[in-house]
Amino acid sequence: MNILDKAKNYVEILFKDKLSSVYFYHNFIHTAYTVNKAEEIMKNTPVSEEDQEKVLVALWFHDTGYIECAKNHEERGVEIMKDFLNKENYPPSYIDDIEKLILATKITHEPQGLLEKIVKDADFSHFAGHDYSDISDALRKEWELTNVKCFSNEEWNSGNLDMLKNRHTFYTDYAKENWEPLKKKNIKKIEKKLEKEEVKKEDKKDNSEGKKEKEKSDRSVDTLFRVTLNNHTRLSDIADSKANILLSVNAIIISVCLSVLVPKLDAPKNAHLILPSFILLLSSVFTIIFAILSTKPNVTKTTFTPQDIVNRKVNLLFFGNFHQMMFDDYHNAMKDLIKDRDYIYDSMVKDLYYLGKVLDRKYKLLSITYKIFMAGIIISVLSFGAAFLSL
């Protein structure tokens, strides 16, 4: 396993075990996103393989300091990185270069050199994302929950507009050419939001304090559901991607074995290779089976009565339920759902719960798949070695 895979696995486990759930933005999903964006830049920018590796290692560790505290998290991330690379026996000069790249992600730092520019652009690449609004809401929620600051809609949109227009710039040629136009589109979207807020402000009547508090609470809950559902969907996509990689690799192994190795086993001189070949093929078959099981749709379907619908015991947001209903019944039930916010939240909670159960099953099967693949490869190599030594 190369250093990038080791770094990725290390950070993923670190965030899973030690990062607080209140970090809706600064988490493994954001970290993996910045790494992918850095790879995108470097595919279109002349950078040596060693420097590419330094950039990616730095980005894997740049937000790890959040496991302890948001303040000075870059410095803490450097300490975690040093501990990791020292155990991997990397030289001090290599570690020093990565330290500079991690510290370059500070918002006030002006990047020096191409590598720091790549790191800086990757860390702020979400400014040009099509889902910038959702990402921005995740950061807003994170700041509210970590007691950084609570913002009104107008304050938040104004702050975002100031950041994108006046305080941020892309540095690499690739980002300037490809991401700057997308960032300008997001700027226009924020400006439109501010215009709408201004209109609402002019037309708004005096409301009681209780109503204001309720609206604020509803907005926070809406953001919580949206961000959580989005994170669940991304985690499902990551699991499917890993399973597809194993499917492809083992399909190639089986194809090569059947076309090249197996036809030669009928010769007496190759009899010693029968058992190792059988072990290799068997491990690949079992890996494929479990990879398919992890990606196989698992839809829970329930039966219910018309009285259950009246008593609101049916989740109308899940197709496994409503596909059995007549359209008129579903239409009337949805009207009742839309009118009752508590009913909506109850349905969303059920939807989140069952989505989480599906993710749990998917990742357990995926973990078994990787263990089978790893064990199969190791045992097969040892069997081939033993077969040749026995000659």
The CATH number covering residue 120 comes to: 1.10.3210.10
The helix/strand/coil state of 62 is: coil
Q: 189-227: per-residue pLDDT in tens?
A: 999 888 887 777 766 655 555 555 555 556 767 776 677
Indicate left, alpha or beta for 72 from its phi (over 0: left) and psi (-120 to 50: alpha).
left
Cβ pair 243, 295 in contact under 8 A: yes
Mean pLDDT of 135-151: 84
Q: How many distinct structural domains can be found in the chain?
A: 2
Q: How far apart are CA 6 and CA 238, in angstroms?
A: 17
Q: How far apart are CA 183 and CA 172, in angstroms?
A: 14
Instruction: Report yes or no on 227 lying in a domain.
Output: no
Residues 258 and 363 in one domain: yes
Cβ pair 5, 60 in contact under 8 A: no
Instruction: Report yes or no on 253 lying in a domain.
Output: yes
pLDDT at res. 373: 86
Instruction: Report yes or no on 40 lying in a domain.
Output: yes
DSSP-assigned letters across all residues of 273-301: GHHHHHHHHHHHHHHHHHHHHHHS-----
Could you tell me the residue range of the domain that residue 163 belongs to?
3-204
In eight-state DSSP terms, residue 206 is P
Residues 251 and 114 in one domain: no
Give yes or no for residue 321 having a pLDDT over 60: no
Q: 327-361: per-residue pLDDT in tens?
A: 676 667 667 766 667 767 677 777 777 777 777 88
Average pLDDT for the chain: 82
Mean pLDDT of 242-266: 82
pLDDT at res. 329: 66
Residues 254 and 126 in one domain: no
Instruction: Report yes or no on 360 lying in a domain.
Output: yes
Q: What is the 3-state secondary structure (H, E, C) of the chain?
A: CCHHHHHHHHHHHHHHHHCCCCCCCCCHHHHHHHHHHHHHHHHCCCCCHHHHHHHHHHHHHCCHHHHCCCCCHHHHHHHHHHHHHHHCCCCHHHHHHHHHHHHCCCCCCCCCCHHHHHHHHHHCHHHHCCCHHHHHHHHHHHHHHCCCCCCCHHHHHHHHHHHHHHHCCCCCHHHHHHCHHHHHHHHHHHHHHHHHHHHHHHHCCCCCHHHHHHHHHHHHHHHHHHHHHHHHHHHHHHHHHHHHHHHHHHHHHHHHHHHHHHHHCCCHHHHHHHHHHHHHHHHHHHHHHHHHHHHCCCCCCCCCCHHHHHCCCCCCCCHHHHCCCCHHHHHHHHHHHHHCHHHHHHHHHHHHHHHHHHHHHHHHHHHHHHHHHHHHHHHHHHHHHHHHHCC
Residues 329 and 261 in one domain: yes
Q: 144-174: per-residue pLDDT in tens?
A: 888 767 888 888 889 989 999 888 999 999 9
Residues 272 and 374 in one domain: yes
Residues 165 and 313 in one domain: no
Cβ pair 197, 157 in contact under 8 A: yes
Residues 80 and 195 in one domain: yes
Among 204, 219, 248, residue at a domain's last position: 204
Q: How many CA atoms lie within 13 A of 180 on its CB side?
A: 10
Instruction: Report yes or no on 223 lying in a domain.
Output: no
Name 352's Cβ contacts closer than 8 Å, sequence gap at least 6: 225, 228, 229, 232
Q: 33-80: per-residue pLDDT in tens?
A: 999 999 999 999 999 999 999 999 999 999 999 998 888 889 999 999
Q: How far apart are CA 41 and CA 59, in angstroms?
A: 13
Residues 247 and 195 in one domain: no
Comparison of pLDDT for 239 and 143, the residue scoring more = 143
Comparison of pLDDT for 384 and 119, the residue scoring more = 119
Residues 144 and 271 in one domain: no
Instruction: Report yes or no on 219 lying in a domain.
Output: no
Instruction: Report yes or no on 111 lying in a domain.
Output: yes
Instruction: Report yes or no on 126 lying in a domain.
Output: yes
Residues 26 and 157 in one domain: yes
Cβ pair 380, 286 in contact under 8 A: no
Among 204, 227, 256, residue at a domain's last position: 204
